[in-house]
Chain A
Amino acid sequence: MAKNDNDGIFSGEYSQNQTSTDNLTASTADATSTNFDKIDSEIYGTKKPKRIIFKANLINEDS
């Protein structure tokens, strides 16, 4: 469980789903998938959206 720190800025903890396994090689036979071959730099759009949940206790347990 997250706690407040002393200067009033709360700290918390994150949980998130696993990131997707990327699909860099998918469907290379398809005419619309030629961009999958671009591996010389960062390729955008291969990941899936993921959920991140942050929890923090706002009640200072020291007070």
Chain B
Amino acid sequence: MKIVNTENQDRILQGDIYKDIEYIEYIRDESGVIEISKIQFPLVYIMTQDCDLQQDHSSRDGVISSQDKILLSVLATPIYNYDHVIAGTHLSDLNMKMSPIDRKSTMGKLLLQNKLERYHFIEFPEDVHIVPSVIDFKHYFSLNVEYLRSKNPTNFVCRISELFRESVSYRFTNFLGRIGLPEINS
């Protein structure tokens, strides 16, 4: 079974990986001076359910007559370089210091086994030129649909195949749905 499909399609699919995607942090207007801050992510993973993406595509292309199924945004998560994550430096260019992870520690081993709920480790097959990578479920964000559609022909890298994308999706929803309990002082 192939883990990754490198054949692009004419629409956005769940599990797609795109390169060089810009996320707008804020737009500020002060006395006529507009400031736009955006983060350019080298790689992002598309998390939105594929049936929603399919219906959105059909609606925008006029196959479905109403606009009921059109999405306002697409959910994405950044994909970070595994070695950068281990070193805690993956967001250093954003002036953010992250916690390093010792490769040989229990946490380091759990990360590789996808047993740390926050992260999803992906190692790509030899024919896909992506370094070992980590999805950080805590850093999800939304992208404008038309913006991402415009990037589909040029910035598509590959797609995680169905079974494996379902695994990512399942772990992501578990992470989002987790219950944060307060510490109980005895």
Chain A: residues with CB nearer than 8 A to chain B? 1, 10, 12, 17-20, 23, 26-27, 30, 32-36, 38, 41-59
Residues of A within 8 A of B120 (CB): none
The answer to whether residues A55 and B112 also contact, given A17-B93, A49-B40 and a CB cut-off of 8 A, is no
- Shortest C-beta distance, B44 to chain A (Å), equals 10
Which DSSP category, helix, strand, loop or mixed, fits chain A's interface? loop
Q: Which B7-61 residues have a C-beta within 8 angstroms of A?
A: 19, 22, 25, 29, 31-43
Instruction: Report the separation of the CA atoms of residues A13 and B32 in the bound assembly, to the nearest whole angstrom.
Output: 15
The answer to whether residues A45 and B33 also contact, given A32-B123, A52-B38, A54-B38 and a CB cut-off of 8 A, is no
Instruction: Report the separation of the CA atoms of residues A44 and B127 in the bound assembly, to the nearest whole angstrom.
Output: 12
Residues of A within 8 A of B81 (CB): 23, 45-48
Residues of B within 8 A of A52 (CB): 22, 37-40
Residues of A within 8 A of B80 (CB): 45, 48
Contact B37 A51 (CB under 8 A): yes
Residues of B within 8 A of A12 (CB): 34
- Any A CB within 8 A of the CB of B163: no
**How many inter-chain residue pairs (CB < 8 Å) link A and B?**
120
Chain B: residues with CB nearer than 8 A to chain A? 19, 22, 25, 29, 31-43, 78-84, 86, 89-95, 103, 112, 123-124, 126, 129-133, 157
Which 3 A-B residue pairings sit nearest by Cβ, starting from the closest? A59-B32, A47-B42, A45-B131
Q: B22, B29, B84: which has the most chain A beta carbons within 10 Å?
A: B84
Residue in B closest to A16 when the chains form the complex, CB atoms: B40
- Shortest C-beta distance, B10 to chain A (Å), equals 22
The answer to whether residues A38 and B39 also contact, given A50-B94, A56-B34 and a CB cut-off of 8 A, is no
Residue in B closest to A2 when the chains form the complex, CB atoms: B33
Residues of A within 8 A of B89 (CB): 48
